């Protein structure tokens, strides 16, 4: 799936206004210049500048690179303040698609200030695997497969999961998620230590 695929499916468009404001705020909070954040994320400075002004259509990989560069959890770019009771219906919520595969992550719950975990709904279709670069040190991911069949875990030792199966693995090393059947769905919890 490429960045242009998100132009045809509104459900795959990231909430760019929230992302833009969050990127600016987090960069300023960290005391970093556009040039330094772009260098750390291996992006063009012009790309980062466009994202901070609400232009562009960032991929999941671009946003993860920026989070690593800013040393922040992914949810901090997508989460707007929410009330105590929260319901997100299937197909709703801020979603970002991958450029590597038919993979989409939807933020369900951002970590509150006293905790460090984020909850995502993942939908994936057979095709190329979603390969993730290492996240920040100490990040652990928990995945419960809801439907379908998937290969999930560290790049060196992924595990085939069936509906109802659970896996926990370190996400500060390269890791993968690959749907092996159509209609693969999972819940992913990213835990930050």
The whole-angstrom separation of Cα 20 and Cα 135 is: 21
**Which ranges of 31-157 does DSSP label H, i.e. alpha helix?**
34-41, 45-52, 60-70, 75-78
26 φ/ψ angles, rounded to the nearest 5 degrees? -70, -35
The answer to whether the predicted template modeling score (pTM) of the entire model surpasses 0.75 is no
The whole-angstrom separation of Cα 127 and Cα 129 is: 6
User: For residue 8, what pLDDT is reported?
Assistant: 47
β-pairing verdict for 117-124 and 166-170: unpaired
The whole-angstrom separation of Cα 140 and Cα 144 is: 14
For residue 131, give every residue at least 6 positions away whose Cβ sits within 8 Å of its Cβ, in sequence order, or none.
100, 155, 174, 175, 176
Tens digits of residue pLDDT in 46-97 = 999 999 988 888 888 999 999 999 988 888 888 754 445 566 677 777 888 8
Q: How would residue 10 be classed by pLDDT, with cut points 50, 70 and 90?
A: very low
Tens digits of residue pLDDT in 126-138 = 999 999 999 888 8
Tens digits of residue pLDDT in 133-180 = 998 888 889 999 999 999 999 999 999 999 989 998 999 999 999 999
């Amino acid at each position: 799936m490429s960045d242009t695929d998100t132009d045809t499916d509104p459900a795959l468009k990231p909430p760019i206004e929230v992302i833009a404001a969050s990127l600016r705020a987090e960069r300023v909070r960290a005391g970093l210049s556009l040039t330094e954040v772009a260098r750390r994320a291996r992006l063009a400075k012009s790309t980062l500048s466009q994202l901070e002004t609400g232009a562009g259509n960032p991929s999941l990989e671009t946003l993860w690179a920026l989070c690593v560069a800013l040393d922040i959890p992914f949810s901090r770019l997508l989460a707007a303040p929410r009330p105590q009771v929260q319901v997100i219906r299937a197909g709703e919520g801020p979603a970002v698609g991958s450029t590597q595969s038919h993979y989409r992550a939807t933020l369900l719950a951002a970590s509150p200030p006293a905790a460090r975990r984020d909850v995502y709904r993942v939908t994936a279709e057979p095709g190329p695997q979603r390969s993730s670069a290492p996240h920040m040190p100490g990040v652990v991911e928990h995945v419960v497969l809801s439907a379908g069949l998937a290969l999930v875990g560290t790049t060196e030792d992924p595990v085939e999961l069936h509906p109802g199966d659970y896996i926990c693995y370190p996400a500060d090393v390269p890791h993968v998620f690959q749907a092996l059947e159509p209609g693969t769905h999972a819940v992913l919890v990213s835990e930050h230590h």
